[in-house]
């Protein structure tokens, strides 16, 4: 659940129209010396925001463009809101599944309540958070839509590979056993995802079951019972994930 860099967030804004308006203002300056100074300042600001600027740097740049170059206040407000929307969204996404957004959270990410107000309203309107009290919100699962899709893909891929082992016609049960052990190792990242989604109980169930399977297959030679045992594990594996909340539960298994 990594977050975007400040540079990437600035690139999302597409500040070209703002700089074009500022350039028009600077070019129209009658005093040649002042026109030269303003155009040099604009060049510097363009280079500045193309680097890894901080939140404070960008907000200050927008203020300068509004005050010194008379850029439309509506354009500046929209750019400020859009940047803060992305900035808060990314900080929320990396702060824990369905975390709370309150004055303490905003202070931690160096944004005042006044600065955040329009972005929080937009995040709420788009369904990324819901109000739970005055000046307090809770992030919704929609923030982690991609993470949930990736999680589902991993789980369904493991389930599919279990099915392939169960249907395997080979008489080489030893190979099937070793392939099963290798497949069990692929489930470890799924356990990490369960913990990230605040599901420690299900994560512990899966972890313990994998330990039992590993222990059994390392102590006993694989035999005719191997595929039957894998089938039992697959049934239990599915049952663990059916205990999850609706928004992250696997809704349909592939037969």
34 and 85, same domain (yes or no): yes
Look at residue 221 and tell me if it is in a domain. yes
SS3 136: strand
Cα–Cα distance measured from residue 114 to residue 73, given in angstroms and rounded to the nearest whole number:
17
In this structure, the number of other CB atoms found within 10 A of the CB of residue 56 comes to: 10
Cα–Cα distance measured from residue 178 to residue 224, given in angstroms and rounded to the nearest whole number:
14
Instruction: Sort strands 129-133 and 136-139 into parallel, antiparallel or unpaired.
Output: antiparallel
Of the residues 84, 105, 139, which one is the last residue of a structural domain?
Answer: 139
187 and 104, same domain (yes or no): no
83 and 187, same domain (yes or no): no
Look at residue 127 and tell me if it is in a domain. yes
Tens-digit pLDDT profile for residues 202-249: 999 999 999 999 888 777 666 778 888 999 999 999 999 999 999 999
Phi, psi at residue 131, to the nearest 5°?
-70, 135
What pLDDT score does 199 carry? 96
Cα–Cα distance measured from residue 159 to residue 150, given in angstroms and rounded to the nearest whole number:
14
11 and 102, same domain (yes or no): yes
Of the residues 115, 139, 163, which one is the last residue of a structural domain?
Answer: 139
Q: How many domains does the chain have?
A: 2
Look at residue 154 and tell me if it is in a domain. yes
109 and 148, same domain (yes or no): no
Q: What is the rounded average pLDDT of the residues 55-72?
A: 90
26 and 113, same domain (yes or no): yes
What pLDDT score does 50 carry? 81
Look at residue 97 and tell me if it is in a domain. yes
Concatenating the DSSP letter of every residue in 27-93 gives HT-SSHHHHHHHHHHHHHHHHHHTS---HHHHHHHHHHHHHHH---HHHHHHHHHHHHHHHHHHHHH
Q: What's the Cα-to-Cα distance from 163 to each of 127, 183, 206, 232, 238, rounded to whole Å?
A: 37, 11, 18, 11, 12
What pLDDT score does 5 carry? 52
115 and 37, same domain (yes or no): yes
What pLDDT score does 171 carry? 78
The lowest-confidence range among 8-17, 78-87, 114-123, 197-206 is 8-17
The model's confidence at residue 2, banded by pLDDT at 50, 70 and 90, is: very low
Look at residue 247 and tell me if it is in a domain. no
18 and 121, same domain (yes or no): yes
Of the residues 109, 139, 169, which one is the last residue of a structural domain?
Answer: 139
What pLDDT score does 251 carry? 87
124 and 169, same domain (yes or no): no
Look at residue 254 and tell me if it is in a domain. no
Q: Average pLDDT of the chain?
A: 89
pTM: 0.79
161 and 124, same domain (yes or no): no
Cα–Cα distance measured from residue 155 to residue 148, given in angstroms and rounded to the nearest whole number:
11
Note down the domain range covering 220.
144-241
Residue 8, pLDDT above cutoff 80? no
């Amino acid at each position: 659940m990594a977050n975007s860099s400040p540079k990437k967030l600035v690139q999302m804004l597409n500040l070209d129209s703002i700089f074009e308006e500022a350039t028009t203002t600077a070019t129209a300056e009658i005093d040649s010396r002042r026109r030269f100074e303003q155009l040099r300042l604009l060049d510097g600001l363009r280079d500045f925001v193309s680097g890894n600027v901080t939140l404070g740097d960008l907000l200050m740049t927008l203020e300068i463009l509004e005050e010194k170059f008379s850029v439309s206040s509506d354009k500046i407000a929209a750019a400020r809101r859009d940047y803060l929307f992305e900035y808060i969204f990314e900080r929320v996404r990396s702060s824990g599944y369905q975390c709370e957004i309150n004055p303490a959270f905003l202070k931690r990410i160096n944004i005042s309540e006044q600065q955040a107000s329009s972005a929080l309203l937009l995040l709420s309107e788009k369904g990324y958070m819901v109000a739970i009290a005055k000046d307090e919100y809770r992030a919704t699962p929609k923030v982690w839509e991609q993470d949930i899709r990736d999680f589902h893909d991993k789980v369904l891929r493991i389930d599919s590979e279990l099915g392939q082992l169960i249907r395997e016609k080979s008489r080489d049960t030893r190979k099937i056993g070793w392939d099963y052990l290798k497949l069990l190792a692929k489930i470890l990242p799924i356990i990490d995802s369960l913990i990230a989604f605040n599901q420690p109980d299900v994560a512990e169930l899966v972890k313990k079951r994998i330990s039992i399977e590993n222990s059994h297959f390392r102590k006993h030679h694989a035999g005719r019972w191997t595929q039957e045992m894998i089938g039992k594990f697959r049934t239990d594996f599915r049952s663990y994930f059916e205990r999850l909340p609706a928004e992250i539960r696997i809704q349909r298994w592939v037969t």
